[in-house]
Structure 1
Amino acid sequence: MYTVYGIPNCNTVKKALDWLKEHQVAYEFHDYKKKGITAEKLQSWAAQAGWEALVNKKGTTWRQLDADAQASITGEKAAIALMQEKTSVIKRPLIEKNNKVVALGFDEDAYQKAFQ
């Protein structure tokens, strides 16, 4: 079973969930806003995908940070602290299976390959 991590009102998450439903991929949804995320989980993802890939620097949450706060995110430890405090800064959706990152964000071509 896949686990989709995200927030339900995110358009990218909605696209991904619609794609998964359309292709009959079974999943459970983990809502960051309701359930949060552990530092251990973020460390596992960072080891697999790199902390830089996890921080969505194109999103509103990142852009709302002041320049000093943005500049302070120079390593994994600071990035994980930020992602725990402001879960909306995590790139969405992140999909995993058996603790392995399968997809980050939504890309239909990548999904075709990952969920065959």
Structure 2
Amino acid sequence: MTQETAPTLILYGIKTCDTVRKARKYLSDNHIDVTFHDFRQQGIDSHLLEQFIEGLGLKALLNTRGTTWRNLTDEEKQSTADPLAARNIMLKHPAVIKRPVLVRADGKMLVGFDTETWSTFLQGAN
């Protein structure tokens, strides 16, 4: 009987995002195995979003620079000052979550992509 083990690294994002592409290339170039979770194809549930919020903070996760944010109504944008409303918008519009989010098996996580930060973070995964 074989026992399945949890993946060491999970990368969350959207495959068409330029920053996610750079992060995936970095991982591939460095021969780092990762499971990729695409928000557009696989979605995000409230439990996973709560884990992100606990690990990274709501403010760090809310991408206010992207197209999805610009397409929100002014009322929706203003409502994100309320944590519950911000969560609901992220669940409804996963592309408004800053990306990529990289999660290690120990639960530690990063948002965004920077080669130096990632290098240090990934050393802790070994």
State whether TM-score is above 0.5.
Answer: yes
Separation (CA, whole Å) in 2 of partners of 1:76 and 1:97: 25
> Do 1:45 and 1:101's aligned partners in 2 also have CA atoms closer than 8 Å?
no
**Higher Rg:** 2
Q: Which has the higher mean CA deviation after the structures are superposed, 97-106 or 83-92?
A: 97-106
RMSD: 1.2
User: What is the aligned counterpart of 1:112 among 114, 119, 124?
Assistant: 119
In the alignment of these two chains, the number of paired residues is: 116
TM-score normalized by the length of structure 1: 0.93
1:70 corresponds in structure 2 to: 77
TM-score of the superposed pair, with normalisation by structure 2: 0.86
Structure-1 residue corresponding to 2:3: none
Q: What is the deviation of 1:98? A: 2.6
Deviation at 1:99, TM superposition (A): 6.2
**CA 20–106 in structure 1, closer or farther in 2 if over 3 Å, else same:** same
Could you tell me which of 40, 43, 53 is aligned with 1:46? 53
1:97 matched residue in structure 2: 104
Structure 1 gap segments, 5+ residues each = none
Gaps of 5+ in 2: 1-7
> Secondary structure of 1:106's match?
coil
Q: 1:45 to 1:10 in 2, by over 3 A?
A: same
